[in-house]
Chains A and B, each alone.
Chain A
Amino acid sequence: MIPAPFEYARPSSLEEAIGLLAERGEEAKLLAGGHSLLPLMKLRLATPALLVDIGRLEELCYVRDEGDVVAVGALTTHDTASRHELLRQKIPVFSAVAGQIGDPQVRHRGTVGGSVAHGDAASDLPAVLLALGGSVVAVGPDGRREIPADQFHLGFLETALAEDEVLLELRLPVPAHPAYGFEKLTKRAQDWAIVGAVAVRREEGAGLGLINMASVPLRAAAVEEALAAGAPPAEAAERADEGTEPAGDLNASPEFRRHLARVLTRRALEKAFA
């Protein structure tokens, strides 16, 4: 369909973008790759009065080596993240997951910042960020602040970002061991996960992120605990659905999602510890 009428601005700097957000408050929306926002607008489920297009802000496109952290600029596309040499070496789980998002078209437009800022529990990258124990950096009129990943997602499509804040970068801690496991069940190659699980090795045990198991991206805390306490992966995976609240929809009932979370977590752990 055709979106409702809206104004359009293309600021030439981050500062200008923040200024526009501060000025227009909740009626303004940032536009990055547009692959989550524009579909909502076409269905008129989102009707922002002003679109602030940050899509061409070069200053948000980077991948930086900071030693034990890799900083990924918000406007880095999924495709760039999937091919980036530094990421592939130091945090292969991130490139691998980014390389399996949607289809090539989606990966060339969609951005890592948009993916996390949108806050969709069905998205893949938030689960990676959680499994890694990373954080995001937000910038607003009052400067920048760092928000840990497990405090970022507050509710259904709701994040800790304020109306006038821009997500600047993802901060990804380099994991203890590059081995990882990523499992997602999709209807079709280009679809969002019905359920997914990401496992990243830690010094002891593993970090585990779950996709589409609640209204927000989740960490499988019970599994992480069990592993830390020395449980074998297969046993720990049995606890993957603890604390989850999966929705029922056309693709899966809550019961089936719980089953999948256990199976996929086990498989992800098997791969991470193979």
Chain B
Amino acid sequence: MSILGNRVLRREDPKFLTVGGTYVGDIPIEGALHASFVRSSLAHGRIESVDLEEAVAAPGVVAVYTAADLGLAPLAPMGLLNQEMKRPLLAEGVVRYVGEPIALILAESPAAAVDAAEAVIVDYEPLEAVVDPSQALEGGVLLFPEAGTNVVFDLSSEEDPELFSGCEVVVSQRIVNQRLAPCPLEVRSAAAEMVEGRLRFYASTQGAHGVKDELCSALGLPPEQVHVISPDVGGGFGAKGGPYVEELLIGWCARETGRPVRWTESRSESMLGLGHGRAQIQQVTIGGTRSGRIEAYRLSILQDSGGYADVGAVLPFLTRQMTPGVYDIERVEFHSRSVLTNTMPTVAYRGAGRPEATAAIERAVDCFAAAAGLDPAEVRRANFIPKASFPHTTAMGTEYDSGDYEKAFDLALEMAGYDELRAEQERRRQRGDRCQLGIGLSSYVEITAPVSGGEFGAVEVRPDGKVIVRTGTSPHGQGHATAWSMIVAEQMGVPLEQIEVIHGDTDIVPRGGGTGGSRSLQLGGSAVHKAAVDVVERARRLAADELEANPDDIVLDRSLGLFHVAGTPAITKSWAELGAASLEREGEPLAAETDFEHPGSTFPFGTHVAVVEIDTETGQTRLVRHIAVDDAGRIMNPLLAEGQVHGGVAQGAAQALLEEFVYDTEGNPLTTNLADYSFISAAELPSFETAFTETPTSRNPLGSKGIGESGTIGSTPAVHNAVVDALAHLGVRHVDMPATPERVWRAIREAKGAA
């Protein structure tokens, strides 16, 4: 019987539940200096002077640096982006958002470093700030005047004036996909020390190798001089995809001073320093027949990139690929522009460009259904890409690998008891209840492992029978140690306890793409799978030599983890014996390494149903049920997969109902702690009802797709649609996210006024 597909408990948890994890901030480093940053309190301004005198003289302070001291070249944006918009590691002459680091202080204690930072006086000449992306697009205020524009990335073209011609029903809606703060529980943290002439760098990251590459490039170091270690990581959600300027500077400081240097930010600092996500203003137009057939769809996006050209600027590229979602739409148009504003730069956040695509099309479909007077469930069913047409290439040119959208949809509706919910809604409407019911649907398809690049995997059998697995992925809560062990156990027939999974150390793992874009299982898991298959093959040959038989006659009894000659199971060779034999006979360990080539992205899908209750007097919304049916191909471990769905749904519901990072018109951040920024808690959520359908992909040997972001992608529009649905009979057609009590109350009032 296969171990795959079973609810194997997380091998990681005994440690986390007893002694706790070891995060960067926990690593003991003798004699380390502590860094703190002086940050801009102004959204846009010229730095007239930085008075460091008091800070330099403050007790415990060892060094104070500003841009001029660094001698480091500014960081160039990614290839696709406007190359004029380079980012200095410390602000040089101009500050472009509140929180931008201006000076760095090294002191003997964290408190001394923070106190000294308070003593630095920065004199600014204020410049007009631009916070609204639409204004940024107009270019009245430029963040890089030399660039002549705030546009970082442009994917727009001429609109086809005929796109909706012939459509009986056409609806347009402006949708704000608001700015979010990713809020991993572990904030950013870094430590660096020089060890035998090499830079050893501890990173809280989603990919140690990426950090190494960027340290090498920013500091001008050859790869062999840099060693990056990422210990336990307390969440990243995309925002720890690459190192921040602060982290690069910690590396620089260790080299500059020759002393170990460390830094762990506070939550308030993190809200101003860890990249934000989403931040798109979308305009959708959708058209079709009165009977519910969708014929044309246009999505135009303004992506807020924040103060610099970071990853967020390029995400519309992913939004574009997923524009029509699960629907078979003949005419599809996409436009986007990414613009700089005087706000925190945006980066990848759980879903990174794909949730925005789903949110747009799923709201659009509901608007269309409402305009046509049809049930949103029927409109979806009538427009799904049919099962028989996979692989399917959409009007955007994206090739979806496999899918059965209707199956997941039917299951979700069945679990929800859709017809009974509609009946209950009708009863409440008839009675004019204060508390109304809303039912929201969202059928999504997303893209996992969206970026090219393969993954490294290796398996080695030690002479004591222990199996060492090395992976280039970078788990930070996902449970790779459990899943990779299961894959290896399945192939080799060794017990999980005998397997150790190593990741996040660039001296031990030569290459790695890290963890992001839900890529890990399909690439990293497949690499480990391939390495395990190769090791079994090598072992078979060794066993043949040892047993003086033909390799073709050797079988591996996976239930026992023993090799024998077919037909003579009494004489066996164990993994330990073969591990030793390999060293003895061949002078090298019994091992295999592999680089699994990227075989093309996969496209998980599903349907979520959200049920909300809205108090129509106070505007308060309560999510009372959430049904998630997700299809990520073959499910390796339902426990891990459900964990990903649960977390994702929580974050997705939070976007619909609670979270928004807010700036005032001058660019002052207003939600800089977790009291003002409404990070969701368990008390606001129901118990989730989850299920999987399994439509395998042929793009990897495991048949699996990614599941890390589906929860977020599927849930937000379901909850959002449910809110609007609850108010539909009152004449409400749209409420922007987050659907706060006041927004809901106003929407009801305005609809009443209009009626």
Residues of A within 8 A of B (CB): 1-2, 4-5, 42-44, 185, 187-192, 194, 250-253, 256, 259-260, 263-264
Do A250 and B662 have beta carbons less than 8 Å apart? yes
Do A191 and B675 have beta carbons less than 8 Å apart? yes
Cα of A42 to Cα of B111 in the assembled complex, Å: 11
Do A2 and B678 have beta carbons less than 8 Å apart? no
Do A188 and B620 have beta carbons less than 8 Å apart? no
Query: Is the C-beta of B574 less than 8 angstroms from some C-beta in chain A?
Result: no
Do A256 and B118 have beta carbons less than 8 Å apart? no
Do A188 and B740 have beta carbons less than 8 Å apart? no
Of chain A, the residue at the smallest CB distance from B660 is: A250
Cα of A30 to Cα of B509 in the assembled complex, Å: 54
> Lowest 9 CB-CB distances: which A-B pairs, in order?
A189-B683, A256-B742, A2-B114, A1-B266, A263-B617, A2-B111, A187-B678, A252-B742, A185-B618
B670 CB, nearest partner CB in chain A, Å: 6
Of chain B, the residue at the smallest CB distance from A256 is: B742
Which among B268, B662, B680 is the interface contact of A43 at CB below 8 angstroms? B268
Do A253 and B742 have beta carbons less than 8 Å apart? yes
Of chain A, the residue at the smallest CB distance from B676 is: A250
Cα of A44 to Cα of B268 in the assembled complex, Å: 12
Starting from the known contacts A2-B111, A250-B671, 10 additional A-B residue pairs (CB-CB under 8 Å) come to A5-B111, A185-B741, A187-B740, A188-B678, A188-B680, A190-B683, A250-B670, A252-B742, A256-B746, A260-B741
Cα of A43 to Cα of B269 in the assembled complex, Å: 11
B274 CB, nearest partner CB in chain A, Å: 15
CB interface residues, B 283-312, toward A, < 8 Å? none
With a cutoff of 8 Å between Cβ atoms, the chain B residues found around residue A264 in the complex are 618
Which among B110, B662, B680, B681 is the interface contact of A2 at CB below 8 angstroms? B110
Given contacts A188-B658, A188-B683, A194-B741, whether A1 and B678 have CB atoms under 8 Å apart is no
Could you list some 27 contacts between A and B, CB below 8 A? A1-B114, A1-B266, A2-B111, A2-B114, A2-B115, A2-B266, A4-B118, A185-B620, A187-B740, A188-B658, A188-B678, A188-B680, A188-B681, A188-B683, A189-B683, A191-B678, A194-B741, A250-B670, A250-B671, A251-B742, A252-B741, A252-B742, A253-B742, A256-B742, A260-B741, A263-B618, A264-B618
With a cutoff of 8 Å between Cβ atoms, the chain A residues found around residue B114 in the complex are 1-2
Residues of B within 8 A of A (CB): 110-111, 114-115, 118, 266, 268-269, 617-618, 620, 658, 662, 670-671, 673, 675-676, 678, 680-681, 683-684, 740-742, 745-746
Of chain B, the residue at the smallest CB distance from A3 is: B111
Given contacts A1-B269, A251-B742, A263-B617, whether A188 and B671 have CB atoms under 8 Å apart is no
Do B678 and A44 have beta carbons less than 8 Å apart? no
Which among B118, B684, B742 is the interface contact of A188 at CB below 8 angstroms? B684
Of chain B, the residue at the smallest CB distance from A267 is: B617
Do B671 and A189 have beta carbons less than 8 Å apart? no
B115 CB, nearest partner CB in chain A, Å: 7
A53 CB, nearest partner CB in chain B, Å: 19
Cα of A3 to Cα of B315 in the assembled complex, Å: 39
Do B118 and A44 have beta carbons less than 8 Å apart? yes
Do B268 and A1 have beta carbons less than 8 Å apart? yes
A241 CB, nearest partner CB in chain B, Å: 14
With a cutoff of 8 Å between Cβ atoms, the chain B residues found around residue A253 in the complex are 742
Given contacts A1-B266, A191-B675, A251-B740, whether A260 and B115 have CB atoms under 8 Å apart is no
Which among A5, A189, A251 is the interface contact of B681 at CB below 8 angstroms? A189
With a cutoff of 8 Å between Cβ atoms, the chain A residues found around residue B678 in the complex are 187-188, 191
Of chain A, the residue at the smallest CB distance from B110 is: A2
A80 CB, nearest partner CB in chain B, Å: 22
A93 CB, nearest partner CB in chain B, Å: 21
With a cutoff of 8 Å between Cβ atoms, the chain A residues found around residue B111 in the complex are 2, 5
B64 CB, nearest partner CB in chain A, Å: 18
